Amino acid sequence: MTEIIIDTYLCSGCATCVELCPQVFRLDPVSEKAELISLQPEVTDEVYQAAAFCPEKCIEIIE
């Protein structure tokens, strides 16, 4: 099973992941950091793009 991990300590809240993959990522309204919309989202090409384009490199995909 593939897992997506977001290091919220590193996350700057830029919302790049939300723009690239809004069906998986959103910004927490309190912390303004990225979070997953569901616990087990489908890992698509857009998720890999979001991880690759994250300026803080805080999204990790573990296969």
Cα–Cα distances in angstroms (integers) from residue 53 to residues 6, 30, 47, 59, 60, in the given order: 14, 24, 10, 10, 12
Write the CATH number of the domain with boundaries 3-62: 3.30.70.20
pLDDT range class, residue 1, cuts 50, 70, 90: confident
Q: Output the six-digit token pair for 42.
A: 């489908």
SS3 state of residue 6:
strand
Contact 26, 35 (CB under 8 A): yes
Give 14-41 pLDDT, tens digit per residue: 999 999 999 999 999 999 999 999 988 9
DSSP state of 13: -
